[in-house]
Structure 1
C-alpha cells in the first residue's frame, strides 16, 4: 500500500504510527506461540487456565426440563442459562462460569423439589388406596 507521498507502508500500519509498545499479544482465546507465556497469565490464553470456551456449559436442556418439576425456579434457571451464552459471546468467561454454576444449582434445587413432590404424590396415592379399601362398601341393616 502506498501513501500519497509515494512511500511504501507495511500492511496494517498507519502512517506516522510506530509498532505498539510491549509487543503484540496473542489473540484472545488462542494459545500463545510456543515458548512464550500467555498474555493472560494462564495456559490456553483464557483466564483461569481453561483453553476451551465450550467447556463452560449452559445447562439449557436441564433448565427447560425442570419446568415440569418446579416451574418457578426453572424460569430463573432458563434466564441464567441465557446469560451464560451472552457472557461467552462478550468474552467475559468469569461471569459465564459463575452463571453456569448458578444455573446448575437452580436446576439441582428444582430437581430435588420436583423429586420430593413426586414422592409425596405417590405416598398420598398409596394412603388413599389403603384408606378407600378399609371403608365398608355398604351401610345400614341390608349388609
Structure 2
C-alpha cells in the first residue's frame, strides 16, 4: 500500500536503503570521549529551606517560626506544663496522671489551631498539678511527723 502523499511512514525505509546519518548524533568518531556535563555556569542557587540572612525580615505572608509553635497570636505562649505533670505523678498520684493527659491535649489543640481549648486545658493541667503537689507534700509531711514521733517514742 502506498502513501497518497508520496512519503514513507515514519521509521520505515524501503528495503535495501539506509537512512543518512545526521551529524552530531551517535557515538563520536576519532576515539575522543564525549564531553560530559561540567559544573553549572553562573551563580549557584541556595538550597531549599535555607533561612534568610540575619537582619532581613521573612518573606511577605510567612510567619516567623513554625505555625502553631511560636510567634504572637499563634498559641506559642500557651504552656503545657508537661514536666510539672510528670513530676506530679510521684507526689500526687492520680492527679499527676490526669495532668499528663490534659497536658497532651494542650499540644493537640495547639496543633489543630483551637487556642481557646488549649488555654482551658492548660489551666486545668496547672490546677491538677497544684492539687497533686499540695496533697503529696501534705502526705510527705504527715509521714515525716509520724516517723519522728515513732523514733521519739522508741
TM range (shorter): 0.5 to 0.7
State how far apart, in whole Å, the 1-side matches of 2:73 and 2:108 are: 19
Give the alignment partner of residue 109 of structure 1, picking from 126, 131, 135.
Answer: 131
- Secondary structure of 1:55's partner? coil
* Residue in structure 2 matched with residue 127 of structure 1 by the alignment: 149
Give the alignment partner of residue 72 of structure 1, picking from 94, 101, 104.
Answer: 94
Structure with bigger helix share is 1
State how far apart, in whole Å, the 2-side matches of 1:57 and 1:85 are: 9
Q: CA deviation at 1:70?
A: 1.6
Q: CA deviation at 1:54?
A: 1.6
Give the alignment partner of residue 106 of structure 2, picking from 79, 84, 103.
Answer: 84
Task: Count residues with an aligned counterpart.
Answer: 89
RMSD: 2.3
Could you tell me which runs of 5 or more consecutive residues in structure 2 were left unpaired when the two chains were aligned.
Answer: 1-60, 64-71
| 1:1-143 pair list within 5 angstroms | 51-132=73-154
Q: CA deviation at 1:107?
A: 0.2
- Secondary structure of 2:79's partner? coil
State how far apart, in whole Å, the 2-side matches of 1:103 and 1:113 are: 15
State how far apart, in whole Å, the 1-side matches of 2:113 and 2:75 are: 9
Could you tell me which runs of 5 or more consecutive residues in structure 1 were left unpaired when the two chains were aligned.
Answer: 1-26, 31-49, 133-143
TM-score (structure 1 length as normaliser):
0.57
Q: CA deviation at 1:51?
A: 2.3
